[in-house]
Chains A and B, each alone.
Chain A
């Protein structure tokens, strides 16, 4: 009796703390220290007493939901706070993590209405929470993503591993096993939390980050990875850098979860746009592109279309892009010898129909979006031959491998992916030459040479 009374009083205090606006920020600020610790301590006591009274293990989730909501909806939540929540609690305690995921899913769900929540503690039904969720959903998304991104412990696969509990787990759990002990439930909670989060309108920054880490940290631990398909397809179809990023997740789904994606190569072809060699994630993209085009069962026209498109883009690409394009095309040609006509075509001979073709006409259609119709196989890679005259000597040398017999089995594309202007420059400037820099045979007689291009349009 006494303990019950005590617990009630504690609840009152707790709700008082949570309600009072002026306290909120303070709590949030020093979370992880005294009061935050105390709140969670309360949680533990509450669970314990509930067990004592009823003999059944229960996690006091309503209180925890309040805490989670409080933290995630607070725009002033500091990095330190979120980090503490993730690293000191969610990472360490299986039950906290489990319920955290559940709560996030609950809060993020569109039909979540805090008023309807069955709660015997009227103190929680303040009007603040609704306001927070509707007006500052971006705050919630940001905080939730930050915490979930920081939770490094993946859902455990074996029941024997689920051993760390914040609310002490009694030896005798009663007849019905609590869901916190089930690995399946853990996985489900994780999936639902992420799916709920991804359904919200993400900011571009978070969107990118999610896509960047998705294939490694989310997909493998989902209960049903295919449920991410919609999200990924939408991202892939949106075009631009987002598509490039979505490709990674999509790739994982296709290769490991048997996802069938219609019109995949058409869309992939469409991704090769004029900005491709200039975006930050080009290395990532080309890594995947290499894998997608690796199969020897792909038709020659498709490979030719990709090779031609890549070379066309390389023509206006910076050196860091051209240096990727050349080995990429080399690998394509090497793996698909039927595409060698792109660099070596006996004049007047059509490989398919055997008809005589006009020599000085390039049938390639650069604006055609369907690789099957762009006639790349009937064209030649003049672009790559032009790169043999590139101003950067290494690229010119690299491009001249197309003149050599194709002895080299394959280029490791990875060696070429991470170049930038700076790396090129560093390698050049650090190159020590024994000889002095060669000077012009005719020393200049004036600042601008007579006939200099600058004389055409510049004046003092």
Chain B
């Protein structure tokens, strides 16, 4: 081709067209050249196809109207899509016409045609598809179709799928092609399967025979192998047996002994029989599932309640078997007793499993404590005289949380509260406790339910409620337990108010029940927090419980975070003018510390309150004087704080801050001030330890040094004889703080927060595109860029579409004209024929007439 191009008429060639043609032909080797004439008779191009191609190319190159030449006046730099410089228009037009004939032409021919056969064979008329493509498509469709008949689509292994013959899959038969003499069709069928070459019957039979022989040989081989393996096993068995029956069978091991022994089949059988007499493992009692155990416990409670009611009504008790059943509930024998804290969910099994392992360990273990309670409960149920004191002691042992002195106090107070809260006939009320209860839906119902019961009995009620409405028993129990959790939460506040020490037990229940319906519980708690925010004073008990129940260390927690905001507002904006408020503040600071125990996040309000309160205790009479520290302090606040200022003697013993201060409006006694001071010192120490890792630890606690110095100064100036008590604590804290600050100073390093790659200086030099293209839009406005692109595309497509439509119309017109001409010519032909026939007839007639006339003339 390239060769021809060079011969094609160029701009600068001066030869005539004829000469050019001649030279082109000669260079292509089509015309015989004079020089070669003598040497080779045969032209080099024997292949006529090749020759035709060459001729065609020469022809096309010599028709100047076939080629469309795109002249470029200038080379435009950066133009991406360059148009072809030369296009063969004739070929392109021909192609387009061909394509139209295939598509538009067909449509045209079939317009107005009704009915007929629509050819749906794949790719039959799809001229655009390659033959391979067609075949592939047909094949896949065939496969799909075959699976339509595949009724059994199950994935069960070993099941025969697809077409079958005599219950066997056809594929299988094809593969192994076992001869089946019973089936005369078999052989024929195989033959039919191979359409290329039909085998003769003899051939087939020969094949079958050969195959069966091969199989037979295979089977024999397999059997031989089996035999050899068995032989080996027998050899080994002897040595194993020698181990098994070492005591009874003391024969020496060896080949000879083995052979002898092996031969003795009788002894082998004896051994087998002997083995039969071996003691077998007996089937164990089935372990009860959790649900069954729970159900059993529920039924037990219900039965006991029935009996109790019967006894109450004076009926005979049939407790014999029940009692014996109860005896069986000893700690040692029972397998799995659902305990009060069994949720049946995540943390169920652990207690019992670990409880067994821990038996020798301290009595603080919760599971054992629980068990102890359970026992006590049983004892109550049986009616034995379980004294309150004992139980209390047990409780105290279990919740050994605080120092000894407070322990005693708590015990005393608890006893007092207990005796106060109990109705007069409480001694007998213990026996009257029902075994089943209706689940309370709200606090009012709960209050009604526990009316007149002691706290211990309330706990029993809770335990029984949790057993009766265990979540595994009925789906609606979830709701009841969730309600119970919320009720108990409310009950807690009441209990704290009445200084009841069984709060711990209730908190435990709440903690466990909270997980029953975490969503509802969480939502309820959020409401409570919202109430906290609205009220002047947040509910400190709830705050403490929330910190314990929820995951307080979360970065954002839907309950704890808003609660901390509420607490922060209280600590930051309240006027601490009463003992109650100050106590509340102290407890909330403690709660904040607990909430940030793990996460150690900074709560500035807590520190501010703490420092201000600390200073307030020793601030002195000058209200407006300098209060050390960076915490904000208004004049009003200073005035309010003046109630805390110590001006009397230190008491004999510095007592703790009382929970009861939260609920009465007592004035601040002198000893209370010392209690507050001591509490502040404790909390300061806690926060020093908690916040040591913060980068600004020094900035946070440096003021405290000054504050503590002030406190120490003030205490040293006061004449109280017992001041050692408190000043020792102060100096201890001072030493601790100094130590921590020293360490922090050592650890201090300048910040290097911008450790990443330094930011580049912004440049004003214009942006330079190394490969600039006219076709690419460099508009920085992305949207505008996109829209311009789209608009251009639309224009292009529109132009193309219009052109196509025009060409289509031309084509259709051409086709119509052609059809009309065809029709016309056919009509003409037809008429011509008719005319011919008629003319023929006419001429015959005329001939006949002439003859007749001639004859007539002749006659005449």
Please, which residue of chain A has its CB at the minimum distance from the CB of B546? A437
**Are A347 and B750 touching (Cβ within 8 A)?**
yes
**Are A359 and B594 touching (Cβ within 8 A)?**
no
**Are B406 and A425 touching (Cβ within 8 A)?**
no
Please, which residue of chain B has its CB at the minimum distance from the CB of A313? B630
Q: Which one of B165-173, B331-339, B514-522 contacts A?
A: B514-522
Query: Nearest-CB distance from B669 to chain A (Å)?
Result: 16
**Are A446 and B401 touching (Cβ within 8 A)?**
yes
| Contact mask for chain B residues 571-611; partner A; CB cutoff 8 A; 1 contact, 0 none | 01100000000000011001101111000111111011000
A452 at the interface (CB under 8 A from B): yes
If A313-B630, A343-B751, A437-B526 touch, does A383 touch B746 (CB 8 Å cutoff)?
A: no
Q: List, in ascending order, chain A residues with CB within 8 A of B675's CB.
A: 457
Contact of B658 among A386, A443, A460 (CB under 8 A): A460
A362 at the interface (CB under 8 A from B): yes
Q: List, in ascending order, chain A residues with CB within 8 A of B406's CB.
A: 459-460
Q: List, in ascending order, chain A residues with CB within 8 A of B529's CB.
A: 429
Q: Which one of B246-254, B260-268, B558-566 contacts A?
A: B558-566
**Are A458 and B607 touching (Cβ within 8 A)?**
no
**Once the chains are docked, how many angstroms separate the CA of A402 from the CA of B759?**
14
Please, which residue of chain A has its CB at the minimum distance from the CB of B566? A425
Contact of B607 among A316, A345, A402 (CB under 8 A): A316
A317 at the interface (CB under 8 A from B): yes
**Are B602 and A389 touching (Cβ within 8 A)?**
yes
**Are A439 and B507 touching (Cβ within 8 A)?**
no
Contact of A437 among B507, B525, B548, B757 (CB under 8 A): B525
**Once the chains are docked, how many angstroms separate the CA of A313 from the CA of B603?**
14
B402 at the interface (CB under 8 A from A): yes
If A359-B748, A421-B569, A455-B402 touch, does A318 touch B518 (CB 8 Å cutoff)?
A: no
User: How many residues in B have their beta carbons less than 8 Å from beta carbons of A?
Assistant: 107
Q: List, in ascending order, chain B residues with CB within 8 A of A425's CB.
A: 533, 562, 565-566, 569
**Are A440 and B682 touching (Cβ within 8 A)?**
no
Q: Which one of B140-148, B300-308, B694-702, B790-798 contacts A?
A: B694-702
**Are A438 and B554 touching (Cβ within 8 A)?**
yes
Please, which residue of chain A has its CB at the minimum distance from the CB of B749? A359
**Once the chains are docked, how many angstroms separate the CA of A103 from the CA of B514?**
74
**Are A458 and B604 touching (Cβ within 8 A)?**
no
If A316-B608, A389-B602, A453-B593 touch, does A445 touch B632 (CB 8 Å cutoff)?
A: no
**Once the chains are docked, how many angstroms separate the CA of A80 from the CA of B698?**
58
| Contact mask for chain A residues 417-453; partner B; CB cutoff 8 A; 1 contact, 0 none | 0000110110011010100111111011111111011
**Are B562 and A428 touching (Cβ within 8 A)?**
yes
| Contact mask for chain B residues 711-751; partner A; CB cutoff 8 A; 1 contact, 0 none | 00000000000000000000000000000000001111111
**Once the chains are docked, how many angstroms separate the CA of A111 from the CA of B601?**
63
Query: Which of the listed residues B554, B559, B632 has the most CB atoms from chain A within 10 Å of its own CB?
Result: B632
**Are A421 and B568 touching (Cβ within 8 A)?**
yes
**Are A278 and B696 touching (Cβ within 8 A)?**
no
Q: List, in ascending order, chain A residues with CB within 8 A of B660's CB.
A: 460
A396 at the interface (CB under 8 A from B): yes
**Once the chains are docked, how many angstroms separate the CA of A396 from the CA of B557?**
14
If A391-B602, A449-B548, A459-B658 touch, does A345 touch B750 (CB 8 Å cutoff)?
A: yes
**Are B401 and A274 touching (Cβ within 8 A)?**
no
**Once the chains are docked, how many angstroms separate the CA of A354 from the CA of B601?**
37
Q: List, in ascending order, chain B residues with CB within 8 A of A438's CB.
A: 550-551, 554, 557
Q: List, in ascending order, chain B residues with CB within 8 A of A359's CB.
A: 748-750
**Are B511 and A386 touching (Cβ within 8 A)?**
no
Q: Which one of B1-9, B277-285, B442-450, B496-504 contacts A?
A: B496-504
Q: List, in ascending order, chain B residues with CB within 8 A of A381's CB.
A: 751
B48 at the interface (CB under 8 A from A): no
Q: List, in ascending order, chain A residues with CB within 8 A of B514's CB.
A: 439, 443
**Once the chains are docked, how many angstroms separate the CA of A277 from the CA of B631?**
11
**Are B499 and A391 touching (Cβ within 8 A)?**
no
Please, which residue of chain B has its CB at the minimum distance from the CB of A385? B695
Query: Which of the listed residues A322, A441, A444 has the most CB atoms from chain B within 10 Å of its own CB?
Result: A444
A406 at the interface (CB under 8 A from B): yes
**Are A457 and B682 touching (Cβ within 8 A)?**
yes
If A343-B751, A425-B562 touch, does A439 touch B601 (CB 8 Å cutoff)?
A: no
Q: List, in ascending order, chain A residues with CB within 8 A of B549's CB.
A: 439-440, 443-444
**Are A315 and B700 touching (Cβ within 8 A)?**
yes
**Are A396 and B594 touching (Cβ within 8 A)?**
no
Q: List, in ascending order, chain B residues with CB within 8 A of A382's CB.
A: 695-696, 698-699, 748, 751
Query: Nearest-CB distance from B567 to chain A (Å)?
Result: 10
Query: Which of the listed residues A312, A315, A421, A439 has the most CB atoms from chain B within 10 Å of its own CB?
Result: A439
**Are B679 and A274 touching (Cβ within 8 A)?**
no
B295 at the interface (CB under 8 A from A): no
**Are A360 and B601 touching (Cβ within 8 A)?**
no
Please, which residue of chain A has its CB at the minimum distance from the CB of B517? A436
If A440-B549, A440-B551 touch, does A318 touch B533 (CB 8 Å cutoff)?
A: no
Contact of B507 among A424, A444, A459 (CB under 8 A): A444
If A318-B604, A439-B550, A452-B594 touch, does A405 touch B756 (CB 8 Å cutoff)?
A: yes
**Are B753 and A445 touching (Cβ within 8 A)?**
no
With A458-B679, A459-B656 known, 12 other A-B pairs at CB within 8 A are: A312-B630, A316-B630, A359-B750, A361-B745, A385-B696, A386-B602, A428-B561, A436-B519, A444-B545, A445-B508, A457-B656, A457-B678
**Interface residue ranges, A against B (CB under 8 Å):** 274-275, 277-278, 312-313, 315-319, 322, 340, 342-347, 359-362, 366, 380-383, 385-387, 389-393, 396, 402-403, 405-407, 421-422, 424-425, 428-429, 431, 433, 436-441, 443-450, 452-460
List the 4 closest pairs (A to B, CB-CB), nearest first: A437-B522, A443-B511, A457-B679, A345-B750
23 A–B contact pairs at CB < 8 A?
A315-B602, A317-B632, A344-B753, A382-B699, A390-B601, A391-B564, A422-B569, A425-B566, A425-B569, A428-B561, A429-B526, A436-B521, A437-B518, A439-B514, A445-B507, A455-B401, A455-B402, A456-B679, A456-B683, A457-B590, A458-B679, A459-B406, A460-B659
**Interface residue ranges, B against A (CB under 8 Å):** 347, 366, 399, 401-402, 406, 409-410, 413-414, 492, 496, 499, 501, 503-504, 507-508, 510-512, 514-515, 518-519, 521-522, 525-526, 529-530, 533, 544-545, 548-552, 554-559, 561-562, 564-566, 568-569, 572-573, 586-587, 590-591, 593-596, 600-605, 607-608, 630-634, 655-660, 675, 678-679, 682-683, 686, 694-696, 698-700, 745-757, 759
